[in-house]
Amino acid sequence: MPDAPALKITDLRFRYPRPREGEAFELRIPALVLGQGEQMLVAARSGGGKSTLLNLICGLMDPDGGSIEIAGQNIHALHGPARDRFRGRSIGMIFQTFNLLTGFSAAENVMAAMMFSAIPSSEHRSRALGLLASLGISNPHENAENLSVGQQQRVAVARAVACDPVLVLADEPTASLDPENAANAIDLIEKACQARNASLLCVSHDPAIASRFTRREALGHAGAAS
């Protein structure tokens, strides 16, 4: 659906089956829409449901009710390999700890993201090298664990946008960075998404990055969107 929003959440409900720390947790989002190319910050306290929300959006967890559509496709209507393929082609992920593959080069980490894409395998290496160069990585054949934290962040961003996703999800992307590097990281992520017209949903409890987003939502008490 070319005119469908990048993300549309309707009446989303999720409840952990067992209480955590003596208190039940429930995530409730009546409605949330993220347009194509739009960027938004979802803020919440630690343990407030940010990672749970991202896991639901990318189909790693199933909701108790409601729907989540990515570019018009209800991701939870897909199952098994079909959901995996859709996730790989439509959603990019930037993790708090980067989750790069150790023992693999920067280029190989980016190429791994294209395994489930429709991009011909003959183009994977040149595409990865081009993306890394555009993000300032001059040593793409260096193993990921030998790179600086800033370089690893750039590799993670390149991996997230490698398949031209509809939606990029960033989970606490500045949590391990000092204020200056945190600002640089957000700038890098936002520009990389803008260059590919990918929508960006960033979740964080860091108040310092709130001013970087014109659209901000909050997960309030018990994970309810407000």
**Residue 2 is assigned to a structural domain of this protein:** no
Residue 64 in domain: yes
Q: What's the burial of 67, exposed, middle or buried (CB within 10 Å: 0-12/13-18/19+)?
A: middle
List of residues 6+ apart from 98 with CB closer than 8 A:
152, 153, 155, 156
Domain that holds residue 57: 7-223
Contact between 225 and 218 (Cβ < 8 Å):
yes
pLDDT at 223: 46
Each of the 226 residues of the chain gets a pLDDT tens digit; together they read: 568 999 999 999 999 866 555 566 789 999 999 999 999 999 887 777 888 999 999 999 999 999 999 999 999 999 999 999 999 999 999 988 889 999 999 999 999 999 888 899 999 999 999 999 999 999 999 999 999 988 999 999 999 999 999 999 999 988 877 777 788 889 999 999 999 999 999 999 888 888 889 899 988 543 455 4
Quick check: is 119 in a domain?
yes
- Rounded CA-CA distance 221/153 in Å is 31
Handedness of CA 187, 188, 193, 199 (dihedral sign): negative
Residues facing residue 54 across a β-bridge: none
pLDDT value at residue 48: 79
Total domain count, the chain:
1
* Domain harbouring 30, CATH code: 3.40.50.300
Query: Cα dihedral sign for 99, 199, 172, 64?
Result: negative
**Structure-derived torsion over alpha carbons of residues 163, 165, 169, 173, reported in degrees to the nearest 10:** 40
Q: Which two tokens stand for residue 147?
A: 């790179």
Residue 166 included in any domain: yes
Contact assessment for residue 100 and residue 155, using Cβ atoms and an 8 Å cutoff: yes
Whole-model pTM: value is 0.90
Number of C-beta neighbours around residue 209 at 10 A: 20
* Residue 1 in domain: no
